[in-house]
Chains A and B, each alone.
Chain A
Amino acid sequence: MIDARGPRWSAGLTSIVLILALITRSPIFIIIQLVQFGIGAFAGPPNSPYAWLYKRFVQPRLSKTFDSEDVRPPQFAQFVGFIFALLATVGALSHTWLLFTIATSFALFAAFLNSAFGYCLGCKLYLLGVRFRRV
């Protein structure tokens, strides 16, 4: 169980980084985001750089009572983000700007929804994925 506010903070920071990536088209921002998503997806959201920033600078200023959530839903969302960031990175490094822009826009769409509405990506996508995979 983790502090449910952590993933929303991370999604907010992700939105900002992805906006910077779209504005500058500099590969550095999408690579930063790829690393964040990769660590979040494979080592777990609490071990990611944005979670470290949250624990170090944000959590101490917030209320001590909070909603907790299972770590698996945000980890799934980080994995979906990782796939889009990977496509966007390939697009940026190969100067395929259409691929970069589409993949980054999808990631921004999901990250912003998560941050602003607490949107549960795993609720909508996971079961559909399983249904397709095991037909």
Chain B
Amino acid sequence: MNSTLIIVAVLVLATGYGFVDRKRAGKIKSKVDSRHSITAHEIGSDLGESATVLQFSSAFCTPCRATRSILSSVIAHYPKIKHVEVDAENNLALVRRLDIRQTPTTLFLNAAGKEIARAVGAPKRDQVINALERI
């Protein structure tokens, strides 16, 4: 097969995927199907009084740092909401149970520890504020 054609195909596919991925990243999706609640014991930290924002991170993840600073600066305005960051690699049982596939993944938990929304990838500041206002 013509190598120029292959190169063009790879670059077009990568560009298309890049735009789709950038658009999808960090979108906060509401979830109603939350059968199990997440306990303080599982995340090694107390849950927040009204809600908990649970961030899964890993060592090989540059956007995890940005996510941490966005979440902690937004949550600072909500004294009853707590930001908890856990290392995905050290919590594999929880990662499998919640089907976390990449980092950063952020779960929004209500006071009972049930997941009500999730963002895969780094969420944007105003999206986080929206999600917290809805809790």
Contacts and interface: CB of A to CB of B under 8 A. Distances in A.
Interface string A78-122: 000000000000000000000001000100110011001101101
Interface string A112-134: 11001101101110111011001
Contacts, number: 91
A130 B92 contact: yes
A76 B10 CA distance: 22
Interface residues of B, number: 33
Max count, chain B CB within 10 A of own CB: residue among A108, A119, A120:
A120
A127 B18 contact: no
Interface stretch (B27-35, B55-63, B68-76, B107-115): B55-63
Interface of B: 1, 3-4, 6-7, 10-11, 13-15, 17-18, 21-22, 58-65, 88-89, 92, 95-96, 100-104, 121
20 contacts: A4-B62, A22-B7, A70-B59, A72-B60, A73-B59, A73-B61, A101-B3, A105-B6, A113-B14, A113-B17, A117-B18, A117-B21, A119-B21, A120-B62, A123-B60, A123-B64, A123-B102, A126-B103, A127-B58, A134-B92
